[in-house]
Amino acid sequence: MMRPSSAQFLRSAMDPAHFPRDGKPEIAFVGRSNVGKSSLLNALLGRQEMARTSSTPGKTQCINFFEIDRRYYLVDLPGYGFAKVPKAVKDAWNRLMHQYLSDRETLRLAVLLLDARHAPSEADMGMLGMLEDNAIPTLIAATKADKLSNNQLQSSLKTMRKTLELDAEALVVPCSTVTNRGVKEVWQVVLDQVKRGFEI
C-alpha cells in the first residue's frame, strides 16, 4: 500500500473564505458523528493522531483540511446526526455543508461512512441525497466491521444497500481501524480519484 510521504494539517475552516483556493484535488470524509471519520483518516495516513478522534460525538465542528504530499487534500467534515446539540449548531452545520458541497469544483470523491452495525438513518439518507444532488462521486465505507460476525456483516450490508437503493455496481467497503480491514481498498479508490483530478 502506497503511504503518502508527507501529510500535514493545513487548517480548520468554519467559513468558505477559509477553504483552500489553490485548486488541488480534494477527497472528503462524511458521516454521522462518531461513525469513525477521523479514525479512518488516521488509518489511511498511517498516523496515530493526525485527525483528532473522540468518544464525544460532535467533536469535529469545522472542516479540517489535511495536505497530502503537497498535491491534494483529505478533508475531515463535521459529523451530523448527534442528538443533544442546540438547533443553532445543526443549522450552522447545514449551512456549512451546503456551502462546501455545492461549490467545490476540486472535490473528486466523498467517502460516506456508515456504521456497519446499523441501518442507515434519515440523516444518512439526506447526506447521500446531498452528494447525489451535487453529482459528487461517492464511496461508501461500512465502519466498525470488527464489531460484527461475518453473518451479521453480510446481512447488515444487504440492508444498507436496500435502504439506500444502491445500484448493483455501487461499491460498499467494510472497514475497521482495529483490524485495518478495508483501509487498502479505500486508499486505492482515493488515489484513483486524485489521479483523475490531475488529468483534467
Longest dimension (CA), the chain: 47
State which residue, 37 or 108, has the beta carbon closest to Mg ion: 37
Which residue in 149, 151, 152, 170 sits closest to 161, CA to CA?
A: 170
Q: Given candidates 60, 138, 156, 193, which one binds Mg ion under the rule CB under 5 A?
A: 60
Question: Under rule CB under 5 A, how many of the chain's residues touch Mg ion?
Answer: 3
Query: What is the footprint of ligand GTP within residues 171-190 (CB under 6 A)?
Result: 176-178
State which residue, 70 or 179, has the beta carbon closest to ligand GTP: 179
Residue of this chain nearest to ligand GTP (CB atom): 79
Please, are residues 65 and 73 in contact by the beta-carbon 8 Å criterion?
A: yes
Which entry of Mg ion, ligand GTP, none binds 64, CB below 5 to 8 A by partner kind? none
Least gap, CB of 177 to ligand GTP (angstroms): 4
Report how far residue 61's alpha carbon sits from residue 161's, in angstroms, rounded to the nearest whole number.
29
Which entry of ligand GTP, Mg ion, none binds 47, CB below 5 to 8 A by partner kind? none
State which residue, 60 or 193, has the beta carbon closest to Mg ion: 60
Q: Given candidates 13, 28, 35, 136, which one binds ligand GTP under the rule CB under 6 A?
A: 35
Binding segment toward Mg ion, per CB under 5 A, in 57-65, 109-117, 128-136, 143-151: 57-65
> Dihedral through CA 165, CA 171, CA 175, CA 180, nearest 10?
180
For residue 143, with 0-12 CB atoms within 10 Å meaning exposed, 13-18 middle and 19 or more buried, which class applies?
A: buried
Please, are residues 186 and 43 in contact by the beta-carbon 8 Å criterion?
A: no
DSSP state for residue 29 in the 8-state scheme: E
Report how far residue 41's alpha carbon sits from residue 76's, in angstroms, rounded to the nearest whole number.
8
80 C-beta neighbours (distance < 10 Å), count: 21
Site string for ligand GTP, 78-117 (x = CB under 6 A): -x--------------------------------------
Q: Residues interacting with ligand GTP, by CB under 6 A?
A: 31, 33-39, 53-55, 57-60, 79, 143-144, 146-147, 176-178
